[in-house]
Amino acid sequence: MVPIPFNDHIRRQTFWAATLALIVANTLVFIYELSLGPLLNRLVFTFAVIPANYTTPHGLAARGPAGLFLPIFISMFLHAGWLHLIGNMLFLFVFGRSIEDRYGHGNFLIIYFVGGLAAALTHIFFNAGSRVPTVGASGAIAAILGAYFVCFPAARISTLIWIVIFFWRVEIPAVFILGYWFVIQFVAANMEHLNIQSATQGGTAWWAHVGGFIVGAALALILQPRRANAPIQYLD
């Protein structure tokens, strides 16, 4: 069973400019990636997060401060394929708009980028020594999911449920769909961590998702909402 969220039912009062800007930026960067042809590998190995660069003496000596700092943020705009990009942007669209409306553009971006930083550091910590490059916005988006989990647990999420070849449209409370998503990430991260080889062969950065989600939830509790006393309005 694969749940695919495509809309929420929150009445927003501001336009989601920062969310849209992130979606456009990620899309444009991916189109640029496609234009590079054989030079793409050079871009990936320069700006992807490679844990060994942060955890081994050789990696630390070879990169320098800028070479360690920049990939953490630039890698958030790199994607491995159309499905990778579309999946990430869909989740950002569904959950990012209401978080941006609640916290304002600036705090929304703080949640996004600080969550992305936390996701990268969590991935590095649990995959120390790995030379597999990691790219994608999913760690930062996981922080948005964590914030949404805290702010709008009762919001109904319009979701397509894909079972084999059939789709069903259902309305699922955010607390269930995001709770299910987090449990899947956490279980998969622990299963992968027990298999040493899987951490060196590539795949999904499960621990990045876990770290981003937790930090996003924490920031949602710490940061001041744009309208602290405004009621949350759910569309019928």
Domain of 95, CATH number, reads: 1.20.1540.10
Distance of CA 176 to the CA centre of its chain: 18
pLDDT of residue 203: 74
Q: Per this entry, what is the length of the chain?
A: 236
Domain count, the chain: 1
pLDDT of residue 236: 61
Separation CA 156–CA 62 (nearest Å): 49
The answer to whether position 150 is within a domain reads yes
The answer to whether position 41 is within a domain reads yes
The answer to whether position 65 is within a domain reads yes
**Per-residue CA distances from 184 to 45, 166, 179, 223 (Å):** 29, 22, 9, 27
pLDDT in tens, the chain (236 residues): 678 999 998 989 999 999 999 999 999 999 999 999 999 999 999 999 999 988 888 767 667 777 788 999 999 999 999 999 999 999 999 999 999 999 999 999 999 999 999 999 999 999 988 899 999 999 999 999 999 999 999 999 999 987 777 788 899 999 999 999 999 999 999 887 666 544 445 578 999 999 999 999 999 999 989 866 556 666 76
The answer to whether position 187 is within a domain reads yes
168 Rama class: left (phi>0) / alpha (psi -120 to 50) / beta:
beta
* Residue range of the domain that includes 152: 2-222
The answer to whether position 86 is within a domain reads yes
C-alpha closest to that of 26 among 103, 157, 159, 140: 140
The answer to whether position 206 is within a domain reads yes
The answer to whether position 232 is within a domain reads no
pLDDT of residue 67: 76
Angle at 220 between CA 102 and CA 98, to 5 degrees: 30
pLDDT of residue 228: 62
Which residue carries 């030079």 as its tokens? Answer: 39
The answer to whether position 10 is within a domain reads yes
Q: Alpha-carbon Rg of the chain, whole angstroms?
A: 18
